[in-house]
Every structure is written in structure tokens, then in C-alpha cells.
Amino acid sequence: MTGSTARTVVEAESTTGDGTAVVVESLVKTFEDGGSSSRKQFTAVDGVSFIVERGTMFTLLGPSGCGKTTTLRCIAGLETPDQGTIIVDGRTFTSTTNGINLPVNQRGLGMVFQSYAIWPHLDVYQNVAFPIKALPRKRRPSSRETRARIERVLDVVQLSDLENRPATDLSGGQQQRLALARALVMEPPLLLLDEPLSNLDAKLREEMRFELKRLQRELGITTVYVTHDQIEALSMSKKIAVMNGGKIEQIGRPREIYDKPASRFVAGFIGISNLFAGVVSTAGPDNARVVETDLGTLRVRVFADMPRGTQVLAVVRPEQIELDTVSDGETEWVGSVRARAFVGDAVEHMVRMRNGADVRVKSSPTVSIPPGTKVQLRFAEEDCTVVPGA
């Protein structure tokens, strides 16, 4: 599995600490867009850099077309980047400055595709055996060793009793686990998962989410996970990179991403957010700021350089807001309930504010305010995140 030919200078240069398994640096990938007539370039990945700690799950999260899958395919070697460096486990896969790009079949990674890509003409056992059979004869393990390895990995994904089933007879969840077994059988240094849960129905998806996380933890395998589903990302990852338009908007632990979105895009993409446009009116010490909005004044702390006069957006999650019925005297943060809906574990209210904006509020099921009622929004100012506006 060690393509010694590819070990180069770059490896020495990038003294990846023992904790770092994957380094992606300044990755750029463009495609020719459209037909042969219009030679338009489309930049799918635009200067993406990140590192992945050994044994952790790193998630690339973003809407379709944000470049997350292309990034993953560059790591796999299925796409050739125009620029950038990719180092996995100290091996340089790609380094455009050194003219290195290791072919996909010499990278020795495991990958699960969105469609699973189970070979329909092979049975379960043969599917898992494929990566071993594809080895050059010299490096192929003995047939006993091969069998033991396959049985071990089938056991890990709980498919042992289906060994001789044609792969096409498996259910969606079983195919998923088979794809995982095939990706793991060579004990790769890095596992790549491309939206592996998106073809499953909702209930199975939830089950597999926990299953995947358990496996990843138990095997301690470094994993790069691509998804557009924020719940998958938040629940499974050690770190998340939120991507948009080929760029990474924010990298952080799930909590950071959720609680402290760094940009309007992240705030809007992760969960449901209410955004209030405003201007920094006073810049105090310790990042304390006063923000004036149409609806009221906020005293908040910020995490970026925001001098007086900066256009900002205040982000408040629906579940962080409480509603109070109010008298006519109040002027800050008031509106009237436009609609309410009982959604099982909560009641959602839509409040039309003075300035015409709608605010979503998620309250406990005991709170239910009829439409037309005047209300005031209450929220702790530390729950409010300020991101650069417009």
C-alpha cells in the first residue's frame, strides 16, 4: 500500500505533526463549463485548505454545487486539481508545485460513494474481496489471510451471514454497510464518505448515522465526510467545514458552527436563523459592541474586527426566543403573531415585526398564542451572534 515512488521532498517539508492525518492546502479545481462551443471556466473548488486530525471525523458541509464533493474527489484522486497540495499520512498525493499527482489506484484509500457503487455482478464476498484481488500478485496476501480479512470486516459491519448473497439482493442499509466493508478491507489510512446516507429513508438514515459514528470511533479511522445534511454533520463530526461557492466559510467544532456562525451564509445554512440587520453604534472594550437595529438596540460581544459604523447582522435562533404578550407601551422588539403551528415537540410562531420582517419562534408546546396577538420577543443577548452584514 506504500507507493514508495511517490514519497518526495514535500513530505519532508510538511512536517505534519503526529496528530495530523490529512493536509489539504490551497486546493483549486476548475471545470470546463457547458458544451464545446462555450469554453467557460467554472471554479468548483476555490482555494480550499484544511487539516484533519488523526482518528477523527471531518465533515465538508454545504449546499449542492458548493465544491464539497469535488474536494473529496480530489483527495481520492478521481479529479486532478489545478492547484494545491494534498498529503495523507505523510504521503504526498498531490503537489502541483512539484508536478506530483498520484493516480487514484495507488492512493490506497477507502471510499463510500453516494450510490454505494456495489458491483451488481458480484456477491457480497466478492465485492469485499475486489480490492485484495486487484493487488499485484506479489503483494497479495495468502488466500487464508484474504478470507480472514474479509470475514473480519464483514463481521464489523454485521453482514457475515449474507456472504454469498448476490449484492443486488441487499436492502439499502445492507448495501451501505457492504460499501463500507469494501472501503475498510484494506485498512486504509483515510476513509472518504460521499453523502453515504442520502439514499436511505429517514428512519434508516438515523440508524446508520449512529452506526457510522460508532464504527468510526471504534476503528479510530480518520474520515472525511461529505454531506449537505446539517444534522448528520453536527451529530457525527469532530470538526466541520462549511463550504459555499467553492470556498470554506467556517471551520469549527459543531457547537461553534451552530452557536457562533462566522458569516451570514453559515448562520442561514445551519439550522433556522432569524437575521436582524443593524449598524455598530458604539465599540467598547473587550469586543463589546452596541448594535442599533430597526427593531431595537443590542449589547453584544463580537468575534471579528467590527468598528463603529459596520453593517452587521444579528443572528438569533428560533428556540432562543421567548414570546411575551405586551401592552401598547412597549416599542422595542414588538410584533404580532401572524400564524402558529403545532409541530409535535414544539409550537412554532411566525411573528410579523413592525418593520414588516417575519421572525420564527420555536416555543415549548405549552406556549400557544393566537394569531393577531401583540407580542414582544425576548432573548438573552449572549445568545445573539453578530456576523458581517450585507
Partner 1 sequence: MSTRLGETEQTFAVVSRRTRLRPTSKVVVLTGVVMIFAFLTLVPLGFLLWQTFTEGGALTFDAVARAYSADALGGMAVSSVTFAVGTAVLAVPLGTVLAYLTMRTDMPFKGPLFVAALTPLVIPGILHTIAWIFLTSPRIGPLSQLLAMLPGSPTIDIFSIWGMIWVEGLHLTPLVFLLMAAAFRSMDPSLEEVALASGASLPRVFTRITLPLVKPALFASILITGIRALEAFEVPALLGIPRGIWVFTSRIWRALERVPSDFGLAGAFAISLLVITSVLVFLYARLGKRSQRYQTVTGKGFRPRVVSLGRWKGPAVIFAISYVTVAVVLPLLNLLYISTQRFYAQPSLETIANATFDNYRYTFTHPQVLRAFRNSMVLGIGAATALVLLTAVASWLVVRSRARGRSAVDHLASIPLVIPGLVVGVALLVVYLRVPVPIYGTLWILFIAYLTRYLPYGMRYSSSSMYQVGSELEESAYVSGASWWYTFRRVHLPLLVPGLVAGWIYIVIVSVRELSSSILLYSPGNEVLSVLIWEQWENGQFTELAALGVVMVAILMVLVAVVRRLGARIGIREIA
List interacting residues with partner 1 (CB under 8 A): 5, 31, 44, 64-65, 69-70, 76-80, 99, 101-111, 113-115, 117-121, 130-131, 133-135, 179, 182-183, 186, 192
Distance CA 65, CA 343 (A): 31
Min separation Cβ 207 and partner 1, Å: 23
Output 35 or 285, the one with its CB closest to partner 1. 35
Q: Which of 240, 248, 261, 247 has its CA nearest to residue 304?
A: 261
Output 92 or 310, the one with its CB closest to partner 1. 92
Output 21 or 192, the one with its CB closest to partner 1. 192
Q: Which residue has the cell 448473497?
A: 165
Min separation Cβ 361 and partner 1, Å: 36
Distance CA 298, CA 245 (A): 31
Q: Strands of 100-101's sheet, edge to edge?
A: 40-53, 20-33, 83-88, 91-95, 100-101
Min separation Cβ 36 and partner 1, Å: 8
Name, in order, each residue with C-beta under 8 angstroms of 182's C-beta and a sequence gap of 6 or more. 110, 118, 127, 128, 130, 131
Min separation Cβ 264 and partner 1, Å: 24
Output 127 or 310, the one with its CB closest to partner 1. 127
β pairing state of 91-95 and 83-88: antiparallel
Output 16 or 126, the one with its CB closest to partner 1. 126
Output 107 or 340, the one with its CB closest to partner 1. 107
Min separation Cβ 188 and partner 1, Å: 9
Name, in order, each residue with C-beta under 8 angstroms of 218's C-beta and a sequence gap of 6 or more. none
Distance CA 233, CA 241 (A): 9
β pairing state of 288-293 and 322-325: unpaired
Min separation Cβ 115 and partner 1, Å: 5
In the DSSP assignment, the letter for residue 329 is T
Min separation Cβ 104 and partner 1, Å: 4
CB 179 within 8 A of CB 154: no
Output 192 or 347, the one with its CB closest to partner 1. 192
